[in-house]
Amino acid sequence: MTKKTKEKQEVEELENVQSEQNQTEEAETVAEKEEISEIDALKADVQAEKDKFLRLFAEFENYKKRTNKERIELFKTASQDVMVSLLPILDDFDRAYSEISKTDEKELLKGVELISNKLKDTLKSKGLEVIKVEVGDAFNADDHEAVTQIPAPSDDLKGKIIDVIEKGYALGEKVIRYPKVVIGQ
């Protein structure tokens, strides 16, 4: 072989070695980038799972609070059906008391009054409360049930409550019967 061919071969071999080194370096760089991008992808996956877990945990905590609140409300108003069915009896006691008070039977009046008070105290201890409505109070459609309107006996009673026909009751904070009233026009 000639010197030129030998030199040419050496140059080609050197170029091949450099090319292989460049390819190896590029492959290492690509591998490092892939490794870094794989790490970034794993970090993103971990972050997404962490966010998902935190949201699920918060949702579960809200569910627990909501069910506890509903359970407490259920216990508070569990006796609502019984209370509603006893309201006409309370009305009957009030009517009986007002009629007996017109007679001379004071012992009968005391007996009815004792039974009525005992029933009212028992129901009050279970959470039943009378909604206070007085003659002359302003009428509010959200708080009262208007049965009828009559001409007001005076100008200052126009749009106000003139008479209470039936008492209203609340069980805890929930109204179970609105007061029935007559309003002046």
**What pLDDT does residue 24 have?**
73
Report the predicted TM-score, pTM, of the whole model to 2 decimal places.
Answer: 0.58
pLDDT (tens digit per residue) in 132-177: 999 888 888 888 999 999 998 888 888 899 999 999 999 888 899 9
pLDDT (tens digit per residue) in 103-130: 888 888 888 889 989 999 999 998 899 9
Is the pLDDT at 6 greater than 60? The verdict is yes
Distance separating alpha carbons of residues 171 and 44, to the nearest angstrom: 53
pLDDT (tens digit per residue) in 34-63: 777 888 888 999 999 999 999 999 999 999
**What pLDDT does residue 7 have?**
74
